[in-house]
């Protein structure tokens, strides 16, 4: 059985921090002073109402409920005091009363809106946290140590516009060696994750049952086909899954089947080699293949590292549209330990894309051959 270590990349979700009380107080007092000054210069309390009433609305969007209540109460008191003090401006008491009631109503509405916003943010946060926890419980925590390899990596499934990503990975210790899966489901969202879970479940079961990688891939393809058949009945779109299946045993070679996925890269003696592999069709499209599934073999000596990734890394672009040079950056970091390489590549890719850029789901795995085999 693989030995599990604490999941370093399972980070808790964070809420947006509201401003501190001192910041709110300074902002409110400053705006109030400016509005009162403008009201005095213009000799019209309309300035006061027109410029102060936005304070509770701004607070409802940025602050806590208590802070919003404070801002609303402050605004109501300032407006009421100013209207009452300026009794000689010729306005009727009805106008003054309506102005105060309107300010009070806007304050109450702002507090209500703030409560709704915080409740909605809390529910969204809970849902996103539950979704991430569910997926990270289904996906094995990294790193994983077996008799053959040490598998470590970075997995970032949750983005701003979706709860769960479609990238998958798994590691199974079978009677025929350690089997590693990395894949990417077509599309995003819950329909995609359904196909992802189908592949992971089939992999964990078939990896212990099938002695050959070709039979294992056939089982994975059948699982995607079954999922697509169910999806068609429920009106969902059919999916295909690109995947790379690796088998590492006691021999100094590794077996790989590429199902339309990104080719792995081998790090050996501070050099990076991209093995030439036969590229088959993605899982779920085997019926369209003109040739049977092919198993590729290449040298994987002790102490070397195999890097596996999804297109969330290879399709990263900078502001000019230039793709992230994975091989070049990997070569520059070939001296790093296998456990540090995935995070180093991920951080470098984020820096390459720049601030404010959108990032796809990404999985980066390092599979280091045990130096004692």
Q: Assign residue 300 a region: left if phi > 0, alpha if psi is -120 to 50, beta otherwise?
A: beta
* Domain co-membership, 229 together with 336: yes
pLDDT in tens, 11-42: 444 455 788 888 888 888 888 777 777 766 66
pLDDT given for residue 49 in this prediction = 61
Sequence-separated (6 or more) residues with CB below 8 Å from residue 71: 24, 28, 55, 56, 59, 63, 107, 110
Residue 226 lies in a domain: yes
* Domain co-membership, 210 together with 159: yes
Cβ distance 34 to 26 under 8 Å?
Answer: no
* Domain co-membership, 111 together with 190: no
Residue 246 lies in a domain: yes
Residue 320 lies in a domain: yes
pLDDT given for residue 153 in this prediction = 93
* Domain co-membership, 97 together with 183: no
Residue 81 lies in a domain: yes
- Domain termination residue (choose one: 101, 129, 157): 129
* Domain co-membership, 168 together with 37: no
pLDDT given for residue 43 in this prediction = 62
pLDDT given for residue 7 in this prediction = 46
Residue 263 lies in a domain: yes
* Domain co-membership, 283 together with 153: yes
* Domain co-membership, 125 together with 143: no
pLDDT given for residue 156 in this prediction = 79
Q: Quote the tokens at residue 85.
A: 């003090």
**CATH code (residue 266):** 3.60.40.10
- Domain termination residue (choose one: 87, 107, 129): 129
pLDDT given for residue 46 in this prediction = 55
* Domain co-membership, 61 together with 168: no
* Domain co-membership, 123 together with 149: no
Cβ distance 302 to 369 under 8 Å?
Answer: yes
Residue 12 lies in a domain: no
* Domain co-membership, 232 together with 265: yes
Q: What's the domain range around 75?
A: 21-129
Residue 13 lies in a domain: no
Residue 2 lies in a domain: no
Does the global pTM surpass 0.85?
no
pLDDT given for residue 204 in this prediction = 94
Q: What is the pLDDT along the chain (373 residues), one digit of tens a residue?
A: 555 544 444 444 445 578 888 888 888 888 877 777 776 666 665 555 666 778 888 888 888 899 999 998 888 888 888 777 765 555 667 777 887 888 888 889 999 999 999 888 888 778 777 766 666 667 888 899 999 999 999 987 655 445 456 788 999 999 999 999 999 988 776 667 788 888 999 999 999 999 999 999 999 999 999 988 887 787 777 789 999 999 999 888 999 999 999 999 999 888 899 998 988 899 988 887 777 888 999 999 998 999 999 988 888 888 888 898 998 999 899 888 888 999 999 999 888 888 756 566 789 999 999 875 5
Length of the chain as a residue count: 373
- Domain termination residue (choose one: 108, 129, 150): 129
Sequence-separated (6 or more) residues with CB below 8 Å from residue 120: none
Sequence-separated (6 or more) residues with CB below 8 Å from residue 369: 148, 149, 248, 300, 301, 302, 303, 304, 305, 306
* Domain co-membership, 361 together with 340: yes
Number of domains in the chain: 2
* Domain co-membership, 147 together with 209: yes
């Amino acid at each position: 059985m693989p030995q599990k270590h604490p999941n370093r990349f399972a980070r808790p979700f964070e809420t947006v921090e509201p401003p501190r009380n001192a910041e709110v107080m300074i902002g409110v007092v400053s705006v109030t002073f400016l509005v009162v000054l403008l009201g005095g210069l213009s000799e019209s309390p309309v300035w006061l109402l027109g410029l102060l009433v936005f304070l509770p609305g701004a607070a409802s969007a940025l602050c806590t409920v208590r802070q919003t209540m404070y801002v609303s109460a402050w605004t109501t008191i300032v407006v009421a005091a100013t209207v009452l003090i300026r009794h000689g401006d010729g306005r009727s008491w009805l106008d003054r009363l309506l102005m105060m009631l309107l300010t009070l109503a806007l304050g109450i509405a702002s507090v209500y809106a703030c409560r709704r916003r915080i409740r909605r943010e809390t529910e969204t946060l809970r849902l996103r946290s539950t979704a991430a926890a569910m997926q990270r419980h289904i996906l094995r925590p990294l790193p994983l140590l077996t008799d053959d390899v040490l598998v470590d990596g970075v997995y970032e499934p949750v983005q701003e516009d979706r709860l769960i990503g479609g990238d998958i990975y798994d590691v199974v210790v079978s009677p025929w060696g350690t089997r590693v899966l990395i894949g990417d489901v077509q599309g995003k969202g819950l329909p995609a994750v359904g196909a992802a879970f189908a592949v992971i479940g089939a992999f964990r079961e078939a990896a212990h049952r099938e002695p050959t990688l070709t039979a294992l891939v056939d089982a994975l393809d059948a699982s995607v086909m079954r999922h697509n058949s169910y999806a068609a009945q429920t009106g969902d779109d059919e999916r295909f899954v690109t995947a790379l299946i690796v088998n590492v045993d006691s021999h100094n070679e590794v077996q790989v089947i590429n199902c339309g996925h990104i080719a792995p890269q081998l790090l050996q003696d501070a050099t990076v080699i991209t093995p030439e592999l036969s590229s088959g069709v993605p899982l779920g499209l085997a019926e369209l293949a003109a040739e049977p599934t092919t198993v590729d073999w290449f040298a994987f000596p002790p102490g070397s590292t195999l890097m596996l990734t999804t297109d969330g890394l290879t399709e990263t672009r900078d502001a000019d549209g230039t793709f992230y040079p994975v091989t070049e950056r990997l070569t520059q970091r070939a001296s790093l330990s296998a456990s540090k390489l995935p995070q180093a590549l991920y951080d470098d890719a984020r820096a390459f894309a720049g601030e404010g850029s959108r990032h796809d789901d990404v999985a980066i795995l390092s599979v280091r051959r045990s130096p004692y085999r």
